[in-house]
Chain A
């Protein structure tokens, strides 16, 4: 499917509300977002169920905060946090899948060096 365009992102205390051009609305918690970080340090931890749980616990233990959101070109968003990892560039496809409660990695294990 052609991905709808993200039109609005509202940052709330614990989650963000997203409005897409086709009228779809998503709510994504910051914990879900941070657990889905696609950076080279966080992503490989989701390849294995046990380490994925550890990553989940790590992000849940971080202080609650609203991120600074920065568009990256036309294709992604970067979320900057005062604590924890801010390195990931979240493509809109990933954000959509998170909103749809699907696996943001789309079942693909992370391989270092692959973009």
Chain B
């Protein structure tokens, strides 16, 4: 703690200064106070803070969080992406930042810069290698999250997107308790019933913490198959659930049909049921898988493609909601 004002002062014949244990406690208290001040500053320097959650794993939450950050950055906004998934951090890989190390200066952590200038902080930056697991109990995770919130030099940001591990446990609870002025939560789900069941828990969790639910995104919603056939050809596609989809090729011989691999419409149904906005559907796009593996997100590799378009439409709804959101005026404590 080089910049701590707390010094041991115990020369010969002088009154005894603090013991090493007391010194340690004082330094910890000083460090905690500095962190609290930094966290309260974040309320001013970061305009909007959005949490991205899902009840269930494997619904593409990190892909969505990364996509939201990149889509906002496409507009020229200053964006940060905080990967709070301590035990399974994979945002750096999707942002082409694998193997990066964090830069620490004067006790402040400086984020790495990914595609489109998005600033990224992730536990992955602290791991020796990708195969090293993080085996931490709750209180240690809590300390790491507080550091990621309070000790990072984000600078001025328009948006901070926070990606969480699945579920409603320590991580989102710690962030909602520590980060001031959170705009709200975006809940990511896939259309099938199991994912929806868990998404409902996420919405209830948000309500319980008095955090606004910005809306529900249905990911992996429909896979569009495309092909060519002589103009006017009728094509039958065997769709999931024993259904048959009939499509006809157009004048140029192009045809397409959308297969609802994980069903469809569940996200919207859940949003309606809980009275929260439905932000939109993201198509099942194998390009996300390739892009994630290669470190080039679909929005970067194909900025005009259908997936980028779907993200832009969702982001527009999020912006409209959070930028028009009225502040409650706060609580006066005297």
A interface, CB within 8 angstroms of B:
5-11, 69, 71-75, 89, 92
User: Known contacts A5-B328, A7-B329: does B334 contact A73 (CB below 8 Å)?
Assistant: no
Contact A8 B334 (CB under 8 A): yes
Interface size class of B (residues with CB under 8 A): 10 to 19
B interface, CB within 8 angstroms of A:
176-178, 182, 208-211, 328-329, 331-334
A6 to chain B: closest residue by CB: B331
Q: DSSP majority for the B interface?
A: loop
Contact B210 A11 (CB under 8 A): no
Contact B176 A73 (CB under 8 A): yes
A12 to chain B: closest residue by CB: B334
| Chain A residues whose CB sits within 8 angstroms of the CB of B182 once the complex forms | 73-74
Shortest Cβ-Cβ A-B pairs, 5 listed = A74-B210, A75-B210, A73-B176, A8-B332, A9-B333
Contact B209 A11 (CB under 8 A): no
Question: A56: shortest Cβ distance to chain B, in Å?
Answer: 26
Question: B139: shortest Cβ distance to chain A, in Å?
Answer: 13
| Chain B residues whose CB sits within 8 angstroms of the CB of A72 once the complex forms | 177
B331 to chain A: closest residue by CB: A6
Seed contacts A9-B334, A74-B209, A74-B211; 10 additional CB < 8 Å A-B pairs: A8-B332, A8-B334, A9-B331, A9-B332, A10-B334, A11-B334, A72-B177, A73-B182, A74-B176, A92-B210
What would be 25 A-B contacts, judged by CB atoms less than 8 Å apart? A5-B328, A7-B329, A7-B331, A8-B332, A8-B333, A8-B334, A9-B331, A9-B332, A9-B334, A10-B334, A11-B334, A69-B333, A72-B177, A73-B177, A73-B178, A73-B209, A73-B210, A74-B176, A74-B182, A74-B210, A74-B211, A75-B176, A75-B208, A75-B210, A89-B177
| Bound CA–CA A92/B81 (angstroms) | 31
| Bound CA–CA A73/B177 (angstroms) | 4
Give the number of residue pairs across the A-B interface with Cβ within 8 Å. 39
| Bound CA–CA A11/B331 (angstroms) | 13
| Chain B residues whose CB sits within 8 angstroms of the CB of A7 once the complex forms | 329, 331-332
| Bound CA–CA A19/B209 (angstroms) | 21
Question: A82: shortest Cβ distance to chain B, in Å?
Answer: 14
| Bound CA–CA A73/B209 (angstroms) | 7
| Bound CA–CA A75/B175 (angstroms) | 13
Question: B205: shortest Cβ distance to chain A, in Å?
Answer: 10
Question: B42: shortest Cβ distance to chain A, in Å?
Answer: 14
Question: A20: shortest Cβ distance to chain B, in Å?
Answer: 10
Question: B169: shortest Cβ distance to chain A, in Å?
Answer: 10
Question: B81: shortest Cβ distance to chain A, in Å?
Answer: 21
| Bound CA–CA A39/B306 (angstroms) | 50
| Chain A residues whose CB sits within 8 angstroms of the CB of B332 once the complex forms | 7-9
A72 to chain B: closest residue by CB: B177
| Bound CA–CA A9/B209 (angstroms) | 20
| Chain A residues whose CB sits within 8 angstroms of the CB of B211 once the complex forms | 73-75
| Chain A residues whose CB sits within 8 angstroms of the CB of B176 once the complex forms | 73-75
| Chain A residues whose CB sits within 8 angstroms of the CB of B208 once the complex forms | 75
| Bound CA–CA A47/B177 (angstroms) | 27
| Bound CA–CA A113/B211 (angstroms) | 23
Question: B39: shortest Cβ distance to chain A, in Å?
Answer: 11
Contact B209 A75 (CB under 8 A): yes
| Chain B residues whose CB sits within 8 angstroms of the CB of A71 once the complex forms | 331, 333
| Bound CA–CA A79/B334 (angstroms) | 13
| Bound CA–CA A73/B211 (angstroms) | 8
| Bound CA–CA A42/B332 (angstroms) | 28
| Bound CA–CA A72/B176 (angstroms) | 8
A21 to chain B: closest residue by CB: B328
| Bound CA–CA A16/B82 (angstroms) | 38
**Which of B182, B210, B211 is packed against the most chain A CB atoms within 10 Å?**
B210
| Bound CA–CA A7/B330 (angstroms) | 7
Contact B331 A8 (CB under 8 A): yes
User: Known contacts A73-B176, A75-B209: does B333 contact A11 (CB below 8 Å)?
Assistant: yes
| Bound CA–CA A6/B331 (angstroms) | 6
| Chain A residues whose CB sits within 8 angstroms of the CB of B177 once the complex forms | 72-73, 89
| Chain B residues whose CB sits within 8 angstroms of the CB of A73 once the complex forms | 176-178, 182, 209-211
**Which of B178, B209, B331 is packed against the most chain A CB atoms within 10 Å?**
B331
**Which of B177, B182, B332 is packed against the most chain A CB atoms within 10 Å?**
B177
